[in-house]
A and B are shown apart, each in its own frame.
Chain A
Amino acid sequence: MQMTPEFFILAIVTIVGISTPILLAALGELVVEKAGVLNLGVEGMMLVGAIAGFATTVFTGNPWVGVLAAAAAGATSSLIFGFLTLSLNSNQVATGLALTIFGTGVSSLIGTAFVGRIVPQFGSIFPPELARDPILKVLFGYSPIVYFSIIMVVLVWWFLTSTRAGLILRAVGENDLSAHSIGYSVIGVRYLAVAFGGAMAGIGGAYFSLVITPMWAERMTAGRGWIALALVVFASWRAPRLLVGAYFFGVLVYLELFAKASGLSILPSQFWAAMPYLMTVVVLTLISMRDRIGLNAPACLGKPFLPAT
């Protein structure tokens, strides 16, 4: 095996494939958590997005419409969670878990009609000549969803740090009662955030069913939604770090597979698999040690909004 540029380029392309869906779902969850809501239903929303995107593409033949449908389906399922937790103040942890059970069931039931069908891969939209050159492939060899995920990182980052709306969203997550007293609609902001999170998770799910493997299989996300949840924490609720974290996770997975395929056994594979989670705990602890008061976790995370009336 030679360490040629070609070799690294191939590795990068694979890593992008591993990282993108998790990055998308995690970006959505980041906004949700910044608004002070913890939605553990990411896995369920991803599955709903995966089947909705696939089914729509089967019917319309247009993956762009499929991705939109995935976003809409993800957002719709997230609104069940939103209604229960925001309007009825139900417990967020339990409701999120219930949403995952729901999403798994609904996607399986709808999916039975789509097992064994395929759609064309939603791959690169650039002329193939561009992707033939190895260097250019790194830039032009991906599905539009990949570019979308990167653009969204920038947009979310800009939105949260530089816009008034982002400031309001963060205020709602940090101190809902003051935000309320200034006159912002805490519940309204949170609804929007939850729906955005659902849409992003849905698109992340569609990346599985339209790009990586253009097919439907029950539970095809195989737990990636939970990794997305971990990533948000790993990134300490910052969008640029989320990008780094998602790709770091991709590199770890690739290293594990690479070591196995090369016949190297430095450490048991389970160690590699546990790494992202252990790292998340460590990172979380380091952040917390560094600034105890400011701890970047939104202060209202997971707590219901109970204004004194």
Chain B
Amino acid sequence: MAIFNRRHFLATAGAAAAALPLVGPALAQEKVKIGFVYLGPIGDFGWTWAHNKGREALEAALGDKVETVYVENVAEDASAIPVIRDLAQQGCKLIFTTSYGYMDQTIEVAKEFPDVKFEHCTGFKLADNVSVYNSRFHEGRAVLGTISGMMTKTGTLGYLGSYKVPEVVLGVNSFLLAAQKKNPDATLKVVFIDSWFDPPKEAAATETLLNLGADIVTTHTDSPAALQILEQRGLYGFGQGADMSAFAPNAHLSAIEDIWGPYYILRAQAIIDGTWTSSNTWDGMVDGTVVVSPYNAAVPADVAAEADKIKAGYMDGTFDIFTGPIYDQDGNLKVEEGKTLTLEELAVMDWFVKGVESAA
């Protein structure tokens, strides 16, 4: 406890010192206040943690022009409305609501505050003062899939999913399609645990996938639980949302990092410049939103080289994993040769590609 208190004290003292030069009213007025609404605690080491890192990046970049506030653990029910409204009433000019479940609440509050700009993460409802933004996480999954396809011994891969929403479906398909390019017989077992955060169940589901013969498991839930199981079993996996190598130094081959900072800085700057307009942004690797963590030493050089090719392909726009021919689970041709699924089509994808073994 003593150490904990000191840490806290130091942290607060530091914050206070940093805030000191800014207490002058004239200066304070010029600062643009920006609010964030978080679903989980900032210590979840997953989704909310990544958004908070983005907020910190924003403070670091534009700290003399912006002030940020956040509210964590906001339920996705009606009580999100007062939280969002409160941020607007406190004078926030830009408010990021960082979970799908705040969609209607964001739209509702936005009606009351036409002068405040809102940004809703992963949703699809727009208004004059409401933008939506998301990240093409599936691009990173293609890199991970490439690594997995080359490194799997059993040819059976595992995917720990939360819900069968488009973001996860895209991740599943991208991962397996990339793996099959290296290992055409690769199959993917998918388990949806009906939660984004449930470490005990994530752990049990990972073990189940391993018991059924999967030797590499990638996760689409928020805790490092799966990686810790893989570490215990001496197998491989990937981090989700952040570099989680600290939790599993041997098992952690790489990770998809959600980097929200660049987007937050861009949008805050637009508010400062008065150039903000409502938009639908779906950034990817090329925008720095999706970052693939450094590879583990266990990744052989040739595998790393192939993975880097995918990265490079996304960076210069020459590669897209959703290019035909793509067959669905029942073997029907869904995307013809030479065709590529559009972003609009991807946004509503609800079918799995051939080789996915999933009940849903």
Contacts and interface: CB of A to CB of B under 8 A. Distances in A.
B205 interface: yes
B86 interface: no
Contacts of A35: none
A111 B43 CA distance: 8
B201 A222 contact: yes
Interface in B239-298: 246-247
Contacts of A261: 158, 189-191, 205, 208-209, 212, 357
Contacts of B210: 10
Interface stretch (B88-96, B118-126, B220-228, B320-328): B220-228
A113 B199 contact: no
A217 B196 CA distance: 13
B20 interface: no
Nearest to A109: B4
A17 B191 contact: no
A258 interface: yes
Contacts of A219: 41, 197
B4 A262 contact: no
B40 A263 contact: no
Contact of A269 (B1, B192, B198): B192
Contact of B211 (A11, A18, A220): A11
The listed residue with most A CB atoms (<10 A of its CB), out of B1, B207, B247, is B207
Contact of B247 (A17, A18, A118, A262): A118
A116 B53 CA distance: 14
Interface stretch (A78-86, A206-214, A230-238): A206-214
A31 B249 CA distance: 41
Interface string B48-68: 010000000000000000000
Interface in A217-231: 217-222, 224
Contacts of A254: 204, 208
B17 interface: no
B208 A258 contact: yes
Interface residues of A, number: 47
B246 A263 contact: no
Given A17-B203, A222-B200, A10 B228 contact: no
A195 B251 CA distance: 40
B189 A269 contact: no
Given A212-B225, A269-B192, A115 B204 contact: no
Contact of B223 (A110, A213, A269): A213
Nearest to B211: A10
Nearest to A6: B211
A21 interface: yes
A217 B43 CA distance: 7
A110 to B, nearest CB: 6
Contacts of A121: 228, 232
B208 A213 contact: no
A256 B357 CA distance: 15
Nearest to B192: A260
B213 A218 contact: no
A1 B213 contact: yes
Contacts of A221: 200
A271 B159 CA distance: 22
Interface string A254-273: 10011111111100011001
A218 B7 CA distance: 19
Given A1-B213, A18-B204, A262-B357, A214 B191 contact: no
B308 to A, nearest CB: 28
B211 A113 contact: no
A21 to B, nearest CB: 7
Interface string A125-149: 0000000000000000000000000
Nearest to A258: B208
B359 interface: yes
A7 B104 CA distance: 47
B12 interface: no
A263 B7 CA distance: 48
Contacts of A47: none
A257 B221 CA distance: 15
A18 B203 CA distance: 9
Given A118-B246, A224-B200, A217 B223 contact: yes
A260 B161 CA distance: 11
A265 to B, nearest CB: 4
Contact of A208 (B8, B40, B190, B200): B200
Given A108-B41, A222-B198, A263-B358, 16 more contacts: A111-B43, A113-B7, A212-B199, A213-B200, A213-B228, A215-B247, A217-B197, A253-B201, A254-B208, A260-B205, A261-B212, A262-B189, A263-B357, A263-B359, A265-B359, A269-B359
23 contacts: A10-B207, A14-B207, A18-B204, A108-B43, A113-B4, A113-B7, A116-B45, A118-B246, A208-B200, A212-B203, A215-B247, A217-B44, A217-B197, A217-B223, A218-B41, A220-B223, A222-B198, A222-B199, A259-B359, A260-B359, A261-B189, A265-B359, A273-B194
Closest 8 CB pairs of A and B: A265-B359, A115-B43, A263-B357, A10-B211, A257-B208, A14-B207, A222-B198, A218-B41
